[in-house]
Structure 1
């Protein structure tokens, strides 16, 4: 006669066996992605971390110097100047993107005639590569053959030729306009998903209760889009911190080397001055900044989840 305890133990062992098989199957499915992450991210980061403790010339034998590169980093005024410029650029760019993307998201969220066409037009610049967009705007801003200068003269702003990339202020704002034109459509799509996730019944109930458009936007739309806005914000900030192409292609860090971002400075140290060890230390410092931003992102996305 079979023991009741044995009868119960057999299904339990069978369930555990199936659970282990499911875990191994799950690992098998994600193995290709894990391999790519390990080969193209984890290994390069570990190697960069190892290089940061060396005086690593382009030619010759690397020399172990311990924390020497990090000590140099802490006293490198040019690095902190690049970091300050990057922070300034990040703040201005992020604000400008949201100022443009949020109204666009609200505009294309409503069902109207031709809304699909508007969504496509607003999103089209996103599919253009950043390097290609930078080259396009270099041509548009060209003092002789560009289109922006003649348009400014036709509006009566000035009567002479305008070189938009000759001074810091004009070049900086030209880059800002280019980046907003390039990126706002992507942020618009993220915000659009947040708007479409808000139940229509809530808006209708608030409208029936007498809430105006601004009141509904402030007290209903913004709180319910908190996590979507946080995601779009962190993506915009992270992308701005990693800015390189637009400064390298449009201004080459000028005028007067005032447009050198952190990534541009790392590029110069690593592949122009060939201080590969110091460039690696700068890269690790930038990675630490991005990790801090990721922590902020997780914090913003979890706000209110415990309520």
Structure 2
């Protein structure tokens, strides 16, 4: 009977040590994700299956919170308003950010200063920006009402946050002012990643500016646009601060977003189980929308 001795090559040993070293490097990130994302997500899913009061003993209810959700008209109203807001603000952000990206992409004197000025609102917290615009929209001490009256756009001073239409428009303008600079930077990286030789070749071949934009710039910016679109849509669906601070859900509770509704159910009505179920449903909606956006933006791409 012979004994077979299996030896591990030095190369395999180095590879194994390298694998353990790499795992050690990412261990802090894994721990953070586990503690601050995975565990809260599992706890939220568990809470959604209970009637979970703020005080008292939770009681198992199974899928009752989810069935209640489908028959809750206020849930569907808040979801519809969130969809309306997301559609309008996303279009507005891209309508402003795209021209700004083209503007700061061209080499000109002071272009760095332009980029800085446009990006400055991004560094302001959304809560601080909301408070600033509440002051600007104030009838007595704000700046918007006197300016609109001076320009003849309104008869007398008006409270811009008193009616749904003007409050909605004010919030849209505030968010575009706050976020467009960030989207501009993302789109600018995509523009600067397009080889200048391709643009020059298309220009020599006689392609107009619109043809170069339609057939060259947009296809080469698919991935960049996908990133900007996903960030914009996700941020809009999760909107809370501006509605809570600027309008408190009004006027007539017509500006309650889905996150605002989750907040009310969880921390105002103390229906933590139902709020957890709403949060899980919102997570599913976000994941589904992200998948659809990525698929739509990849249609027509050459795949290996």
TM range (shorter): over 0.9
Task: Please say if 1:242 is aligned against 2:238.
Answer: yes
**Cα distance in 2 between the residues matched to 1:183 and 1:231:** 14
Structure 2 residue aligned with 1:123: 119
**Cα distance in 1 between the residues matched to 2:131 and 2:230:** 27
> 1:20: Cα distance to partner?
1.8
SS at match of 2:38: helix
- Find 1:96's aligned residue among 92, 95, 112: 92
The C-alpha deviation readout for 1:188-211, integer Å capped at 9, x for no partner, is 000000000000001111111111
Are the counterparts in 2 of residues 231 and 297 from structure 1 also a CA contact under 8 Å?
A: no
> 1:14: Cα distance to partner?
2.5
Structure 2 residue aligned with 1:197: 193
Are the counterparts in 2 of residues 231 and 301 from structure 1 also a CA contact under 8 Å?
A: no
> 1:16: Cα distance to partner?
2.3
Structure 1 residue aligned with 2:105: 109
Structure 2 residue aligned with 1:306: 303
SS at match of 2:9: helix
> 1:292: Cα distance to partner?
1.1
**Deviation larger for 152-161 or 295-304:** 295-304
Are the counterparts in 2 of residues 109 and 196 from structure 1 also a CA contact under 8 Å?
A: yes
**Cα distance in 2 between the residues matched to 1:182 and 1:166:** 22
Q: Please give the residue correspondences for 1:118-267 in structure 2 after superposition, counting only pairs within 5 Å.
A: 118-267=114-263
The C-alpha deviation readout for 1:52-86, integer Å capped at 9, x for no partner, is 11111111111111111111011111101100000
Task: Please say if 1:28 is aligned against 2:24.
Answer: yes
**Cα distance in 1 between the residues matched to 2:214 and 2:284:** 35
Structure 2 residue aligned with 1:271: 267
**Cα distance in 2 between the residues matched to 1:113 and 1:123:** 18
**Cα distance in 2 between the residues matched to 1:242 and 1:96:** 17
Instruction: Give the RMSD, CA atoms, in angstroms.
Output: 1.4
The number of aligned residues is 299
Task: Please say if 1:285 is aligned against 2:281.
Answer: yes
**Cα distance in 1 between the residues matched to 2:73 and 2:153:** 38
Q: Under a length normalisation based on structure 2, what TM-score does the superposition of the two structures give?
A: 0.95
> 1:296: Cα distance to partner?
2.7
Q: Under a length normalisation based on structure 1, what TM-score does the superposition of the two structures give?
A: 0.94
The C-alpha deviation readout for 1:127-186, integer Å capped at 9, x for no partner, is 000000000000000011100011101111123111100000000000000000000000
Q: Which runs of 5+ in 2 are unaligned?
A: none
Q: Which runs of 5+ in 1 are unaligned?
A: 1-5
- Find 1:75's aligned residue among 45, 49, 71: 71
